[in-house]
Copies of this chain bind each other. A is one copy, B any other.
Amino acid sequence: MTKHLIEYAQASAPVRVVYDDIMHTRQVDQVNNFWKCLAAHPSTLERTWQSLKQIMGPGALDPLTKELIYVAVSVTNNCSYCIASHIAAARRAGMTDEMFGELQAVIGMANETNRLAVGYRVPLDDGFRD
| A-side interface mostly | helix
Chain A residues near B (Cβ < 8 Å)? 1-5, 32-34, 37-38, 40-41, 43-44, 47-48, 51-52, 54-56, 59-61, 65-66, 68-86, 88, 96-125, 127-130
Give chain B residues whose Cβ lies under 8 Å from the Cβ of A108: 44, 48, 112-113, 115-116, 119
Contact residues in B for A5 (Cβ distance below 8 Å): 123
Known: A60-B98, A71-B119, A77-B110. 4 other contacts (CB 8 A): A1-B121, A38-B120, A41-B105, A84-B128
Find chain B residues with CB under 8 A from A33 CB.
Answer: 122-125
Residues of B within 8 A of A110 (CB): 69-70, 73-74, 77, 82, 86
